[in-house]
Amino acid sequence: MSVKKYTSGVHNVTASSSASQQQIQDSSRETGSLDELRIVSLNPKYSDEEQKSISRIFENQIDNLFASSCFEKARALINTMIESFPGIWRPIEEREDCTVRAFWDEGDYLAYQLAYRTSAKPVVWGLPSLSRLFYLQGATFARELRYGLAYTSLQNAVEYEPDHPGPWVARGRLLISEKHYEEALVALQTATTVRSWTPPAVIADCMYDKGIALGSLRRLPEAREAFARTLELDPDHKAAKRNLSRVDYDLWQLRKREGAAPSRSYLM
């Protein structure tokens, strides 16, 4: 089996599973409209409404800059957001009437709400997330193939929020791109276990990337398990379907060379 046969998409550290949007839609029915969410500013310079507006504008601009491959401009915008924060940032703040948590996105927020329905105090969404800003900064470097700087940004993200799977997934993908497969598996395993309420779509991405690393190490049965698990979590994951077929073919070829009869599953 050749590494080149596998499609990993490792340069895109912001990639997410095709199940993510469906998960958000399904969960929204149980938790209410995302447009009606209470947003709390974690930046003392801005009111809650001001921070909500700033974040919306920022997200639209970042999406457009990434889509246009304007990574230097995107990084300048991200750096401005990071530098605008004047105080000490924490991903969780306990307040008298609520717990404020800096979620990265809707999937993050809804997964937490569904996992902790019976919390003593309401949990509200705090903005901005400095860990996510450093993650996005790392994404700009990764897309420019400046991996050393990308690792530094991701390490900053981990230092701000050690239990978020996002930087660990991104680190795993960068390590795969540099063919450090064993180290990538460690990072991806951390991503799947670092918190108990990680959204299934994120776990699906981790399992897919683990399949890429395991296949590249020729640990074919384990790679097959990883791709199969991806499809359990995200049945529409086209790349996982494609790579599962490829690893099945490679296993069949190995069995043929060993003189054993191929399993039916390898012929499907």
Q: Cis peptide leading into 199, omega within 30 of 0? A: no
CA distance 194 to 206: 12
pLDDT tens, the chain, 268 aa long: 333 344 444 334 444 444 444 443 444 444 444 456 789 999 989 999 999 999 999 999 999 999 999 999 999 999 999 998 877 899 999 988 889 999 999 889 999 988 888 878 889 999 999 999 999 999 999 999 999 999 999 999 999 999 999 999 999 999 999 999 999 999 999 999 999 999 999 999 999 999 999 999 999 999 999 999 999 999 999 999 999 999 998 888 888 877 654 444 433 3
CA angle 140, 142, 228 (to 5 degrees): 120
Tokens of 95: 């307040």
Domain assignment of residue 190, given as a range: 3-267
Q: What is the DSSP string of 168-197?
A: HHHHHHHHHHTT-HHHHHHHHHHHHHS-TT
Which residues, at least 6 apart from 217, have a Cβ–Cβ distance to it below 8 Å? 181, 182
Query: What pLDDT, on a 0 to 100 scale, did the predictor assign at position 116?
Result: 87
Q: What is the DSSP string of 70-106?
A: -HHHHHHHHHHHHHT--S---SEEE-SS-EEE--SSH
Query: What pLDDT, on a 0 to 100 scale, did the predictor assign at position 256?
Result: 80
CA angle 155, 191, 22 (to 5 degrees): 120
**What backbone torsions phi and psi does residue 83 show, to the nearest 5 degrees?**
-70, -15
Structurally, the chain folds into a number of domains equal to 1
- The half-sphere exposure of 263 on its side-chain side, counting CA atoms within 13 A, is 8
CATH of the domain at 256: 1.25.40.10
